[in-house]
Amino acid sequence: MSLQQDLENRSGAKCELCAATNNLAVYEVKPTSTGGVDGSLLACETCIDQIENPENTDVNHWRCLNDAMWSEFRAVKVVAWRMLSRLKNEGWPKDLLDMMYLEDDDVRFAKESGDHLDESEKIIHRDANGAILQAGDSVVLIKDLKVKGSSMVAKQGTAVRRISLDHENEKYIEGRVGSTQIVIITDYVKKMADKE
């Protein structure tokens, strides 16, 4: 059975956020740690667009989270928490957040998106060309980099997939090169297009 079929069975073939039944797709919660059924949810085109493009947010669409926030599934709860946090200045989302309960691990995972921070508090990571990097993005090295503490050299052109961001320094990201998890300075990477 495919991941989409598993999620359709779990959700009754409805968006797990707003209960829409059209244009449903698998949405992997970034940064993807587990993927699969536990790290994904079934969402409609409208929800996915607004999650990934905050400038398209229709605040009233997210009143659906009043139900979704009580889901038994981690991926759904985490996305509900992130969207409510992003919209908390509207008033009613703050009330829902105050009622919501997440385990400590889930809160840590939810905070990795930075949606709970006000714009002035957010650290923005940019690649060598100025493109904004987000957790879960893939980058390519634009020069050979010596890996501290080892004899390894990460070669120019090496792809680093599913990066994570340092929430205290906008110049640092982390990613896996081969079997080694390394810290990379953003000046030496270029964001890969989604199709690459």
Three-state secondary structure call for residue 84: helix
Rounded distance between C-alpha atoms, residue 6 and residue 132, angstroms: 33
Backbone angles phi, psi at 193, to 5 degrees: -65, 150
The CATH number that domain 124-191 falls under is: 2.30.30.40
Residue among 72, 67, 95, 97 at smallest CA distance from 82: 97
Rounded distance between C-alpha atoms, residue 70 and residue 165, angstroms: 29
Rounded distance between C-alpha atoms, residue 39 and residue 34, angstroms: 5
Choose between 196 and 41: higher pLDDT.
41
Domain parsing of the chain, residue ranges: 3-111, 124-191
One-letter amino acid of 20: A
Choose between 68 and 151: higher pLDDT.
68
The string of pLDDT tens digits covering residues 124-165 is 788 988 888 888 889 999 999 888 777 888 889 999 988 888
Q: Which of the four pLDDT bands, split at 50, 70 and 90, describes residue 72? A: very high
Residue 63: both structure tokens together: 């009143």
Residue 192 per-residue DSSP state: P
Which residues, 6 or more positions from 142, have their beta carbon under 8 angstroms from its beta carbon? 128, 156, 188, 189, 190
The string of pLDDT tens digits covering residues 81-120 is 999 988 988 889 889 988 988 888 888 888 876 565 555 5
Which residues, 6 or more positions from 29, have their beta carbon under 8 angstroms from its beta carbon? 39, 40, 41, 75, 78, 79, 109
